[in-house]
Amino acid sequence: MDIHFETIGIIRSCFKEKFGIPRQAGLVPAATATLELLPPYNQAEAFTGLEGFSHLWLLFLFHGNDRQSWKATVRPPRLGGNTRLGVFATRSPFRPNPIGLSAVELERIEQQSGKIILHLKGVDLLDGTPIIDIKPYLPYADAIATAKGGFAAEAPKGHLTVNFLPEPEQTCLTLEQGDYPDLRQLIVETLRNDPRPAYYQQRPQKNSFGMKLFDFDLRWEQDGDSITVTELHRSDR
């Protein structure tokens, strides 16, 4: 069967590259995005009633995958990247149909001059992600109190401590007074979940990493469970 889906909207997210994006929605509540609906889906009546829901399911395409192929087994970072599990037992982006599913917070719906923009929080989505459907999150049906979580029964601990050197701390404070009021919280929530590839979990030595957040280059050093933010400056890319 030849199946065809339309992109109904595009995500504009704080995450400009894949490295550093949380591994699941809701892990970084301060991670914001907007979803601008494309014509002909930007009709106000198509969203009537949605404002009553605090959370949404987004169905999307993993458009940033660097390969189209999939394998029957994958190595979840959650298990240290060494154990293979069936692709359908995981939320890996590399699946036969590269469709993602995220439950995100709906902060507000903006309607202005023919545009419909959903303001979202707690996203795990790359900037530019194409959305193929939106559904309201139904607590009575979707939050199953007795559900078993397999190898991912608990939320990741988010146990790393995050400190800033004085210069990035000052930059962050200045940016928070402008257009980025929750920037420090976003950085701390993102880094404390240990964005490093799984194989680093076995490497005790100190390492330096970087990611792009909004328009900024963020760099940090990690030594065991301790992270120090060393640089935060506007990106020239």
Q: Which parts of this chain interact with ligand SAM (CB under 6 A)?
A: 18, 21-25, 62-65, 91, 93, 100-102, 124-126, 129
* Integer Cα distance of 192 and 104 in angstroms: 20
- What is the nearest approach in angstroms of ligand SAM to the Cβ of residue 107? 18
- What is the nearest approach in angstroms of ligand SAM to the Cβ of residue 198? 12
R_g of the chain, CA atoms, integer Å: 19
Q: Which is nearer to ligand SAM, 25 or 37 (CB)?
A: 25
Q: Which is nearer to ligand SAM, 9 or 93 (CB)?
A: 93
Residues present in the chain in total:
237
Can you spell out the DSSP letters for the chain?
--------EEEEESB-SSTT--SSTTSSTT-EEEEEEPTTS--GGGGTTGGG-SEEEEEEE-TT-S-----SEE--GGGTT---EEGGGS--S-SSS-EEEEEEEEEEEEEETTEEEEEEES----TTPEEEEEEE--HHHH--TT---GGG-S------EEEE-HHHHHHHHHHHTTT-TTHHHHHHHHHHT--S-GGGGG--S-EEEEEEETTEEEEEEEETTEEEEEEEEE---
- What is the nearest approach in angstroms of ligand SAM to the Cβ of residue 169? 26
Q: Which is nearer to ligand SAM, 23 or 119 (CB)?
A: 23
Q: Which is nearer to ligand SAM, 7 or 42 (CB)?
A: 7
Q: Which is nearer to ligand SAM, 92 or 171 (CB)?
A: 92
- What is the nearest approach in angstroms of ligand SAM to the Cβ of residue 227? 18
- What is the nearest approach in angstroms of ligand SAM to the Cβ of residue 184? 21
- What is the nearest approach in angstroms of ligand SAM to the Cβ of residue 90? 8
Residue number closest to ligand SAM, CB atom: 64
Q: Which is nearer to ligand SAM, 12 or 91 (CB)?
A: 91
